[in-house]
Amino acid sequence: MLPLYCRTAAFLTLMTGLFLGTTTAAVAQTPNIVTSIKPLQLIAIAVTGEPSRVESLLSPRFSPHDYQFRPSDREMLERADVVFWIGPGFETFLRGPLTNLPARVKVVALQPPGTQLSEDGHIWMDPVHAIAIARRMAEALAEVEPGQRDRWQRNAEQLAAALMREDESLRQELGSLRQPRQFLVAHDTFDYFEDRYHLRHAAALADNAEQPSGARNLLSVQKMLDEGRIGCVFREPQYEPKVLQTLLRDRPQMRVVTLDTMATDISLKPEGIVEFYRELGRGAVSCLKP
């Protein structure tokens, strides 16, 4: 199995051909889609093959946990035929606005059935969950436009195959690390990613809703850093608390790797979500390797 950084251009060419082989008529029948966040936008683009029909409500520069809903956001939602979001336990700012949309707008929550509002909503961090999301999107879109069901389901299955290849490669690469470094996270964004690849952060500065931890936890983190029990830090560009900057100020030797969980720099194209997981894996490996 090739390492993450050795994928060939042939794969991207194949993905582009599979997803972008649409006709003008097909484009005309694709609903207007709005997703709450960019990772969902990338999955929806892979399913439809049509970036121009899929918008993201939030810029990836913002965190969904503290976002303030704006009038222009309502206009975007009301233009949509289908809205995809994680669910009320994650994008809390959308709970009210989504209940007041016109009846013609189909709203689809992607949070797994049976999960509680307070549970971690970062489900896209596990590529296997991303496959389930893609299939759910294909089903929902087919309810709006049944004539495109086969195309969307075919795209979802092609995406599933590509993601499983990435997943297997990353499982092997992370599994081959001997005594990987213990790591610190700013907040619990990575739980699904960690569960998938049998990792566990040594400490976190905040919970999955970005609520800061107390003084006792901060003292514990500082002690772990002082004793060398933390070897690297997963940094997120959307969330970098001042306390993290303070903790690392006098530790220039600490390995700090940026893992962009909101896919800020990933291009809006059908193979974009595959590239997202590839970049995520590459960053994790570079942080954890001894």
Tens digit of each residue's pLDDT (9 = 90 or more) over 103-162: 999 999 999 877 765 567 899 999 999 999 999 999 999 999 999 999 999 999 999 999
Pick the CATH number of 4-173 from 3.40.50.1980, 3.30.1360.120, 2.60.120.620, 3.40.50.300: 3.40.50.1980
pLDDT tens track for 254-286: 999 999 999 999 999 999 999 999 999 999 999
> What pLDDT, on the 0 to 100 scale, is given for residue 12?
47
Domain segments of the chain as ranges = 4-173
Asked whether 62 and 238 are in contact (CB, 8 A), the reply is yes
Lowest average pLDDT, out of 54-68, 76-90, 111-125, 269-283, goes to: 111-125
Model-level pTM? 0.88
pLDDT at 62: 86
